[in-house]
Amino acid sequence: MGLLKCLNWERRLVPALLFCLIACSSQAPKVHEASGKVMGTTWSLKFTVPPGKDAHQLEQGVAERLAEVNALMSNWESESDVSRFARHRGTEPMEISPHTARVLQCALDVATKTEGVFDPTLSPLIDLWGFGVDHKKAFPEQTAIDAALSRIGFHKLKLEGTRLSKTLPELTLNVSANAKGYSIDLAAEYLISQGVSRFMMEVGGEVRTGLAPGDDHVWRIGINDPANPYKALAHIVALRNKALATSGDYHNFFMENGIRYSHIINPRTGRPIPARVASVSIIADNCMLADAWATALMLQDPQDSIALVEEMDGVECLILTRGSDGSFPEVMSSGMAHYLLPTQITQ
């Protein structure tokens, strides 16, 4: 997932969450399911169809909105806004899509609040460490890290409406840390506009929910156990009309001289983060915000992260840390326990 999940939506095939079965009553309406691939990962949708609506058309509308965000914000798409901005080597403003502007404004807000820990200009370091478009894993020299550090900095960006400019011509963008969440929000808002109130929309493990079909209207979503992320759950979260995003250090990393390096890079050092925080899960009203903060808080001291979350309205946080004995001690915001269900479930 300043700090940024490297733009691996073309590579990140393993979701950050495992999903639990929904316990529905026998009288619950039929749940339709759809799925596909986008941003290098998978998406899935569960929903009930309102009277007079066609399930296939609703699925198509969702797929179109996911594809639109990918086309606008992927570093792999040559005509995306972020690719055009990378080629734009002047300091005069460039027009971008209102969708890209919303995602970037959110990123800049989080960057400001974290004093640059989160930064949407981190592409030079992402590429240098082999997590970017070229896919080349390498342990760079300090001189190369310093050179990359000189070409980043969110404060060198200026966004006015849909006009984006930079004070450093070489500055580039990478909005992967919250663009995927925004694509989920865009799809969810489309469903709501079509009268769909019961749904669960997921892309690569990030989730936004409406009501569930069961009697309690709650979707039950599993958060991976970092000790066994492919099979076990650390917690089950009960959600309705909320979003959940998790950032972890266990899906995208590489080893060098016996040391584990995460895909999340510290902009202050130019290096991947040490394995102190295993995962951060954020609950918020929208997935773009949850996605951004789940990434941003991976680097900070957990207690500082909790203090920051406590100042936000409608946002809760669960942080799993790495203990020296192999355990995963957790800290959470004051309202997070309200969403947690008892679990010993493994899958």
Average pLDDT score over residue span 304-317: 96
- The reported pLDDT for the residue numbered 63 is 98
- The reported pLDDT for the residue numbered 215 is 84
Asked if 195 contacts 50 with a C-beta cutoff of 8 angstroms, the reply is yes
Instruction: Phi first, then psi: give them for residue 314, nearest 5 degrees.
Output: 75, 15
Domain with 337 in it: what CATH number?
A: 3.10.520.10
CA torsion, ordered 211, 213, 217, 221, to nearest 10 deg = -80
pLDDT band for position 275 (50/70/90)? Answer: low
Q: Please count the structural domains in the chain.
A: 1
- The reported pLDDT for the residue numbered 24 is 41
Beta bridge partners of 222: 18, 236
Q: Is pLDDT of 274 > 80?
A: no
pLDDT band for position 14 (50/70/90)? Answer: very low
pLDDT digits (tens, 9 = 90+) for 98-133: 999 999 999 999 999 999 999 999 999 988 988 765
Distance of CA 244 to the CA centre of its chain: 9
pLDDT digits (tens, 9 = 90+) for 168-219: 999 999 999 999 999 999 999 999 999 999 999 999 999 999 999 988 899 9
Comparison of pLDDT for 138 and 222, the residue scoring more: 222
* Distance from C-alpha of 224 to C-alpha of 62, rounded to nearest angstrom: 26
- The reported pLDDT for the residue numbered 138 is 64
* Distance from C-alpha of 244 to C-alpha of 207, rounded to nearest angstrom: 5
The helix (H) or strand (E) run that includes residue 322 is none
CA 70 to each of CA 19, 294, 316: distance values in angstroms, whole numbers, following the listed order? 24, 20, 28
Note the maximum CA span of the chain: 65
* Distance from C-alpha of 140 to C-alpha of 83, rounded to nearest angstrom: 24
3-state DSSP assignment of residue 239 = strand
- The reported pLDDT for the residue numbered 260 is 67
- Report which listed range, 35-44, 60-69, 316-325, is most confident: 60-69
* Distance from C-alpha of 82 to C-alpha of 73, rounded to nearest angstrom: 6
Minimum mean pLDDT among 20-34, 206-220, 291-305: which range? 20-34
CA 309 to each of CA 113, 214, 280, 290: distance values in angstroms, whole numbers, following the listed order? 11, 31, 12, 11
* Distance from C-alpha of 175 to C-alpha of 170, rounded to nearest angstrom: 17
Category of 115 on φ-ψ map: left (φ > 0), alpha (ψ -120 to 50) or beta: left
